[in-house]
Amino acid sequence: MNRVFVLIGLAFSNALRGIRSASTTSLMAVLTIAIVLVLVGGAALLVHNMSSILDEFGTELQLTAYLEEGLSEAEQRDLVERVAAAPGVERVELVTKEMALERFVEIAGSEALLAGLEENPLPASLEIQLRPEARTAEAIGILEASLDGLPGIDDFAQGREWIEGYARAVSMVRIGVVAIAIVLGMAALLIVANTIRLALYARQDELEILALVGASRTFVRVPFLLEGTLQGLLGGALALFVVWGAFEWLQPQLREGLELVVGRAELHFFTTAEALWLVVSGAALGLAGSIMALVGGRT
């Protein structure tokens, strides 16, 4: 057992010696992994936040049905009851023409905009609150279709299309991030493999001497695997630090911009587990690169 610990210790010290003796190429490998993971991690963080904004929309999602002009109070009340009975509907609130006007004036801050109009141009509407499970663009579409035939309903607010478009954009960006991660990951893999291969050639004399004194293949190979893994780990940690720095730096401006566009926005950094994943991805890239180098190398 003691020998196993000695061999593990030696593997680590040989790996560190390898990194020190080829510090420039090691640094290049670390930076390559860091750059790749900054790009992939940054994009993942973007998708992560886009998705959470989408989720927030979902919780506030309601459907607005505009009513035809000239409906009597009884007809309006009848519509409220019929809509409330539709699947996925939690609550229905009638907003009369007068209430709509009051809201408009409240939002606009004055009645000046309506000064030239002889009558209230705002339609009465039904604000339909949805049950949590029905707060998706698809469910709203189904509900819309079922309510569309009801007499008295003129039109629906266009929120659904906007949300659908946004959800499509999120899913496209997500696919894009995965594609970029694969391409950049492959590039990083090749660069790490090349770095380790260069280290193998640079240390050919050492490998020859190790073989002469009876070093097993494992004894020779493990330090190289550790070297790649350590480089990856460093690259991952560096990437996490850069992504975090950029996030902290950009967050105030981004939040301000988002508040203008979507009303309010909470931006989130990675959770601890997600942040660890980024660092572990770096280590995995480094390890995979080393394996590639050793499979093709002469050890």
Partner 1 sequence: MRRRAANATGEPPVRMYHVSKSYMAGQYALHDVSLEVRRGEFVFLTGASGAGKTTLLELIFAAEEPSEGQILVLGRNVARLGASAIPALRRHVGVVFQDFKLLEDRTVEENVRLALDVIGTPRRDARSRVFGLLKSVGLQHRRFHHPRSLSGGEQQRVALARALVNEPEILLADEPTGNLDPDLTIEIMDLIVKASTRGTTVMVATHDHSLIERYGKRVLRLDGGRIVEDVPAMGAALGGGP
Instruction: For partner 1, give the closer residue by CB, 187 or 209.
Output: 209
Q: Are 18 and 158 in contact (CB under 8 A)?
A: no
CB of 182 to partner 1, least distance (A): 35
CB of 213 to partner 1, least distance (A): 4
Q: Indicate the pairing of strand 153-156 with strand 62-67.
A: antiparallel
Instruction: For partner 1, give the closer residue by CB, 219 or 277.
Output: 219
CB of 234 to partner 1, least distance (A): 22
The contacts of residue 255 (CB under 8 Å, 6+ apart) are: 265, 267
Instruction: For partner 1, give the closer residue by CB, 43 or 222.
Output: 222
CB of 4 to partner 1, least distance (A): 7
Q: Indicate the pairing of strand 89-95 with strand 62-67.
A: unpaired
Other residues' Cβ atoms within 10 Å of the Cβ of residue 36: 26
Give the angle 172-178-184 at the CA atoms, nearest 5°.
130
Q: At what angle do helices 272-296 and 159-202 cross, to 10 degrees?
A: 40
CB of 212 to partner 1, least distance (A): 6
Instruction: For partner 1, give the closer residue by CB, 7 or 172.
Output: 7
Instruction: For partner 1, give the closer residue by CB, 17 or 97.
Output: 17
CB of 223 to partner 1, least distance (A): 11
CB of 205 to partner 1, least distance (A): 7
CB of 44 to partner 1, least distance (A): 41
Instruction: For partner 1, give the closer residue by CB, 22 or 177.
Output: 22
Instruction: For partner 1, give the closer residue by CB, 177 or 226.
Output: 226
Instruction: For partner 1, give the closer residue by CB, 188 or 226.
Output: 226
- Applying CB under 8 A, the residues found at the interface with partner 1 are 2-4, 6-7, 10, 17, 21, 205-206, 208-217, 219
